[in-house]
Structure 1
Amino acid sequence: MSLKTGFVVLLLCVPGLLGDEWAGAYTEKEICAIKGSTVKLQCSFTFPPTEDGRDIKVKETFWFTKYPEEDLRLDPQYFGGVQSECHGNNCSLTIADVRWSDEYTFRFTTNHSKGGFNVTPAVKVTVTDLKVQVTESRFRNMYDLKCVSSTCSPWSPSSYVWYKNGEEIPNEKSQLYKRGYDYINSYSCAVRGHEQDVSPPECMYWSCNKVVYYKRHICAIQGSSVDISCEYTSYVNTQTQFWFRTDSSDPGNPSIIEDPRYELPSETSGKSTLRINDVRQSDSAEYRFKFTFSYNFEWRSISPGSTLTVTAVQVQVMSVRVEDSHLVAQMLCHTSCFPEAPLSFVWHHNGAYINQGTIIEVTLSPGDYITCATQQVNDVTTSPVLYVLKRPSVSLNDTGDILEGRPLTLTCYIENFDYSSATVDYCWYKKKNVSSDDEVLSNDRQLVLPSIKSSDSAEYWCTVENQLGKKTSEPVFIDVQYPPRSLSLSVSPSRVIVEGQSVNLTCSSKANPAASYTWYKDRQTLPQTLQEHYSFTSIHPEDAGTFHCMSENKHGRVTSSSVFIDVQYAPRLPVISAAPSSEASQGSSVWLTCSSDANPQAKYSWWKRSEEQIGVKDLHRASATFNLTDLGLEASGDYVCVATSSRGSSNSSVRLQVKACSWSVTMATTVGSVAGLVLVLVVLVLTAFLVWRKKRSSKESRAKSSAGADCGEASTREQKEVVYSQVHFTTSSEGPVYANITPAMPRRHLVEESEDGVEYATVRKAR
């Protein structure tokens, strides 16, 4: 027999030994495990895929220790301490805290008439303790300390650990430890890698400092009383004794237990007991003993003490089936560890007693609940309530608008449910849209969103689950509202806008609830519906201006930046003006001015109707002027102004009339009928004088002068005679009106002819 030590002992089967027949195998028939360790047994099995034309399928697999075959998990001695699992044709059994020797058999059942098959022979597991064997060496005052098994032999581990007063002795790895005589200290051993399974301490002499705990592992039912006991010795008389927990906040100085539930019954010499009444799960811990002796010297060992595990009674559902909308459940009452005393269980349905025993089968409806309890001499411990769950609901702590940034709490609740005594698993889910996957959020009963965001808008629901099934709530849609934000104003087309185009302005923002929009042009409200779009089907120049928009909902408002819309258009029909007039005399000048409304501004060119381009002039602010000087008769005609820009062109024309020159003197000022008569007389006199003067001058001149004068034109030649005339009008209320007429002489002759007299003409004023 080989010894497998430590917490895990692994027993394997050899699948290669099996075929397509009813068979199974283990790799080892016997195994030795240290008490308190964990053992894992494994087995593989085979069976024919078909037999008698029928496909064979496995129905059940389990392990048992005694006949008739009963699942080890249902044995009260193993409640909560075993776990069985299978992967295909490979199955395992894990035994935690193995405490006694036994034989374990694997069984599988099928749908075949043969029923099931047991893999035999069974695996024999022998549980052993470690101990230190002390023998006197052949050398004087020397002792041999050997780490041996109490039941298994031979002993096979390859490496060991040795302790003095619970403290590891460095560099000692062999099974045999040699030591000189020591009457004070105690020694213990363990297998390397499994130091938690330490042997009881041993003295070289009949007395030394040591503590031996009666039970290394103690399981207690919640609410019961438990005793933790030890034996101790000292090479001198002890003075005081103490119990303490090793999970103190200061491990170097564990606090002495001070709790009214903890008591020390009357002790006998060398023995001590710590009693804990009404044990709770918080009492689960490792407990150790220490003492003092002469000179207040304290001795305590760091070797493992007694580990207390407090467990509650639990209901385990073995199977569930639905019959006529009811659940039929087979349930087991058990604990998570193995109490020393045998347990008996009673069952209650909706608070009423229904049965006694380890396993029951009961029919349940939604809202029903089951409990089981164990009754010892003075203690009754009841399991948590196991409900047949109803469909849960989701409640919110805020029933109004859910605003972004505020806290929100969602609660998963079940009607008429006792949350304090029942064990239920919760789960929260979130789904944003149909195409997204469900997102798992939390496993608490309440889902807390400390500062909810717009991205949290989604459907939320919860599930509740226990051993009897799973229920899902109706989804609740969380609509997170917020004021408008991320406002932007865009124009389409975004570049050059031309008259007649379709133009769209878009005001976009994020808001919940949806925002309404107000449009403004040059800070004046535009009369249009409260939509995010403002459109021009055919834009005109008068539509140009500065635009902005405002987005608003019941939670707030925001205003966009401004955008200027410039509408370009082709030059309008030009307007032409002539100064001083479009009718001009020969030899005079005329200014033609052309203007056209255009965007961008126009350039101008002038043409005569004969299609001859006569000049181009670009002026600022869309104005162009063309100057015609020294007009001749040939200048008459139609003049065309063409206004041109990148958007097109247009033109207009004006007719210019140039007239030949003729003599006439017109008196512009007439005072009544008298002034008119005077003017006629003056003209006659002046005409006669000019004729006379002209004849006289022609005799004196070496060169002949022209018979007439060009209209308004002065000769530049020196020899050409210029005639000047001076006419001065005077008026008198009493006397005659005089006209002084002096012949106009060439400038060079003015001095020579100054002696000539002045002729007077008297014109009476008409009355």
Structure 2
Amino acid sequence: MRGAAMSLTAAASGFVVFLLSVSVIQGQNGWRVTYTSTQICAFKGSAVEIRCSYTYPSTINGLVTKVKKRFWFTELGNGESVDLTTISEYTQRVQYHSENNDCTLRISDLRERDSAEYKFRFITNHSTGKYTGSPGVTLSVTGLQVQVSRLEVSWSSNWAELKCQSSCPLPGHPSYVWYKNGQNIQGQTSDSYSASFYPADSFSCAVRGHEDFPSPSVLIQGQYGLGVTYTSTQICAVKGSTVNIPCSYTYPSSIGGVATTVKEIFWFIQQFVDLKTVSEYSGRVQSESNNNDCSLRITQLRKRDSAVYKFRFTTNQGGKYTGSPGVTLSVTGLQVQVRKSSNQTELKCQSSCPLPGHPSYVWYKNGQVITGYTSDSYSASLDPADSFSCAVRGHEDFPSPSVCEFTYSLPLT
């Protein structure tokens, strides 16, 4: 393929980035697939085009070669090759372009769980005429995070250097947008931002053209050299899972020539009571204390763990500091909601708060796993006697209650 390029197109705008790359070819005896690139990083919410072309012998043993089927796939856990257009979570998000031996794949409304290796396969009228382009194209879909790369606090001022980071290198040197307390910071287009801040200021960032998909807000707190930084102030987690609440804290190295040391650190919900001393959290909480890391880990989450968690520390100089407003943790179970039409029933696996990272789901029919369905919805013609439940993949021990096809909806628990 000469002059081939990969394009990354925003789903909601005309923003396009073109990347020139070297073609990668797999082929033998006239059978060939040419991928423009085997590594692509794309932004969550955008659309990606994975370009390729394919060739095959015009005739074999005097019989003209005809292509009977062509499709893109990602290998399932059982090694099965399933056409993307038949998988529910890709419905209306994938398009194939197949004119003149072009095998371009387009995926819109990208989600982080779309990260996978994609391969093109075609089948001809010959008994041995099947070919898959391997190793395929590895797509990495990334969101954004604000990292505090440098922090300076003193009695009179606070200063921070922030970095807008992604899990893979975005193409084309994108331009960024920065937000302070939800308001656009004019004139800031770099992936880094440095400024002084007040105790309650929060910061987030986005790629220009993808402002609908900003990073979580980072709250930087500081007063007289004492400060707590929460990575996020809102966290949703599945009942039965483990949650990590990232946090860091700072304090002046010395006051009046006397070195500052930390006497006590703890997390609490109310009345400054250390969670580790609360019986219902016994054996389920861990907190870090190395290198000013104050991250909290809670295992075997229960619905009643939903609360506002705050970190507090005291020093030998009489300094006491509580990171407010804290982190609101919402622990949710799952519930199957049923919506019926004239000839079909749609099931939706719902939670009481938005789960992070676009999780993958498991569906059960009469207690048995329904293979090939990883979306939060499932549609089919159902028998009235069937029962259905769902779970988040990785947390199968905590499925939703089972519902029957005639049940229309249930409240979330």
Note if 1:98 corresponds to 2:111. yes
Q: How far off its partner does 1:35 sit?
A: 3.8
Task: Give the residue type in structure 2 aligned to 1:378.
Answer: S
- The question of 1:162 aligning with 2:178 is answered yes
1:147 Cα deviation from its structure 2 partner: 0.7
Aligned to 1:514: none
Q: Which residue of 2 aligns with 1:60?
A: 69
Partner of 2:403: 379
Correspondence for 1:268 among 307, 316, 320:
307
Whole-Å separation in 2 of the counterparts to 1:382 and 1:230 = 39
Q: Is the 8 A contact 2:117 2:136 kept in 1?
A: yes
- Matches of 1:382 and 1:83 in 2, distance apart? 35
| CA distance in 1: counterparts of 2:233 and 2:80, whole angstroms | 44
CA distance in 2, matches of 1:194, 1:157: 14
> Does structure 1 retain, via aligned residues, the 8 Å contact 2:146–2:163?
yes
Match of 1:389 in 2: none
Q: Distance in 2 between matches of 1:334 and 1:84?
A: 28
Instruction: Name the SS of the counterpart of 2:126 in structure 1.
Output: coil
8 Å CA contact 2:7–2:17 kept in 1: the answer is no
The answer (yes or no) to whether the contact 1:21–1:46 under 8 Å persists in 2 is yes
Alpha carbons 2:236, 2:331 under 8 Å: kept: no
- 1:628 is matched with none
Name 1:693's counterpart in structure 2: none
Aligned to 2:199, which of 183, 190, 202?
A: 183
Shift of 1:272: 4.9
Which of 127, 148, 156 is the equivalent residue of 2:165? Answer: 148
Deviations 1:437-463 (A, max 9, x none): xxxxxxxxxxxxxxxxxxxxxxxxxxx
Q: Tell me whether 1:24 sits opposite 2:33 in the alignment.
A: yes
TM-score, normalised to structure 1, is: 0.30
1:88 to partner: Cα distance: 3.9
Q: 2:234 aligns with which of 200, 212, 216?
A: 212
Task: Give 2:319's aligned residue.
Answer: none
Whether contact under 8 Å (2:34, 2:53) holds in the other structure is yes
1:94 alignment partner AA: R
Structure 1 counterpart of 2:142: 128
1:615-630 alignment, distance < 5 Å: none
Residue 121 of structure 2 contacts residue 131 of structure 2 at CA under 8 Å; is this kept in 1?
yes
Quick one: structure 1 residues 46 and 314, their matched pair in 2 at CA, closer, same or farther if it must change by over 3 Å? farther
Residue pair 1:312, 1:336 contacting (<8 A) in 2 also? no
How many Å apart are 1:118 and its aligned residue? 1.3
Matched, 1:111 2:125: yes
Alpha-carbon offset, residue 342 of structure 1? 0.5
Distance 2:371 2:18 in 1: 30
Which aligned pairs between 1:458-473 and structure 2 lie closer than 5 A? Answer: none
Other structure's SS at 1:203 match: strand
TM-aligned CA deviation for residue 90 of structure 1? 1.7
CA 1:124–1:17: 2 relative to 1, 3 Å: closer
Do the aligned residues in 1 keep the contact of 2:338 with 2:405 (CA within 8 Å)? no
Hey, what's the Cα distance between the residues in 2 that align with 1:10 and 1:344? 43
Mapped partners of 1:17, 1:57: distance in 2: 21
Alignment partner, residue 342 of structure 1: 362
SS at match of 2:135: strand
**Aligned-partner residue type, residue 189 of structure 1:** C
Q: Which has the higher contact order (CA 8 A, sep 6+)?
A: 2
CA distance 1:144–1:179, shift in 2 (3 Å): same
Call closer, same or farther: CA 1:5–1:83 in 2, change over 3 Å. Answer: closer
Preserved CA contact (<8 Å) 2:177 2:208: yes
Give the drift of 1:5.
8.6
Q: Is the 8 A contact 1:314 1:335 kept in 2?
A: no
CA-to-aligned-CA distance 1:5-29 (integer Å, 9 cap, x gap): 9548889999998999321211111
Deviation at 1:162, TM superposition (A): 0.4
Q: Partner letter of residue 268 of structure 1?
A: A
Letter in 1 for 2:196: G
For residues 343 and 104 of structure 2, the distance between their equivalents in structure 1, rounded to whole angstroms, comes to 24
Q: 2:331 and 2:102 mapped to 1: Cα distance? A: 46
Q: How does 1:523-602 map to 2 (within 5 A)?
A: none
Q: Which runs of 5+ in 1 are unaligned?
A: 219-228, 240-263, 282-310, 317-332, 347-354, 360-369, 384-767
CA contact (8 A) 2:45 2:210 kept: no
Query: How big is the shift at 1:372?
Result: 3.5
* Contact 1:189 1:199 (C-alpha < 8 Å) held by counterparts: yes
Alpha-carbon separation, structure 2, partners of 1:315 and 1:39: 32
Per-residue CA distance 1:716-765 (angstroms, 9 max, x = gap): xxxxxxxxxxxxxxxxxxxxxxxxxxxxxxxxxxxxxxxxxxxxxxxxxx
> Contact 1:34–1:129 at 8 Å: present in 2 too?
yes
* Deviation readout 1:604-633 (Å, 9 max, x if unpaired): xxxxxxxxxxxxxxxxxxxxxxxxxxxxxx
User: Structure 1, residues 492-549: CA drift from partner, whole Å, max 9, x if none?
Assistant: xxxxxxxxxxxxxxxxxxxxxxxxxxxxxxxxxxxxxxxxxxxxxxxxxxxxxxxxxx
Change (3 A) 1:97 1:209: closer
Q: Is the 8 A contact 1:3 1:32 kept in 2?
A: no
State the partner residue of 1:89: 101
Structure 2 match to 1:48: 57
Q: Distance in 2 between matches of 1:313 and 1:142?
A: 61
Distance 2:133 2:92 in 1: 24
For residue 456 of structure 1, what is the aligned residue in structure 2?
Answer: none
Q: Residues 410-421 of structure 1 correspond to what in structure 2 (within 5 A)?
A: none
The letter for the 1-side match of 2:402 is N
1:74 Cα deviation from its structure 2 partner:
4.1
| Pairing 1:716-727 to 2, within 5 Å after superposition | none
Q: Deviations over 1:259-314 (max 9, x none)?
A: xxxxx977322325497977578xxxxxxxxxxxxxxxxxxxxxxxxxxxxx9999
| Distance (whole Å) between structure 1 residues aligned to residue 130 and residue 86 of structure 2 | 19
> 1:608 maps to which residue?
none
Aligned-pair distance for 1:381?
5.1
What CA distance in whole angstroms lies between the structure 2 residues aligned with 1:14 and 1:178? 37
Give the number of the structure whose alpha-carbon radius of gyration is greater.
1
Matched-pair contact (CA < 8 Å) for 2:19–2:172: no
Matched residue SS, 1:60:
strand
Contact 1:34–1:127 under 8 Å retained in 2: yes
Native 8 Å contact 1:132 1:189 kept in 2: yes
**Separation (CA, whole Å) in 2 of partners of 1:313 and 1:121:** 44
Q: Alpha-carbon deviation of 1:47?
A: 1.8
Number of paired residues? 279
Superposed CA offset, 1:97-127 (max 9, x none): 3223311100111012332111233101123
- The answer to whether the Cα contact below 8 Å between 1:10 and 1:41 also exists between their aligned partners in 2 is no
Report deviation, 1:165: 2.3
Aligned to 1:171: 187
1:131: how far off? 0.8
1:158 match: secondary structure:
coil
Unmatched tracts of structure 2, length 5 or more:
1-5, 222-227, 248-267, 271-302, 309-326, 351-357, 373-379, 390-400, 408-413
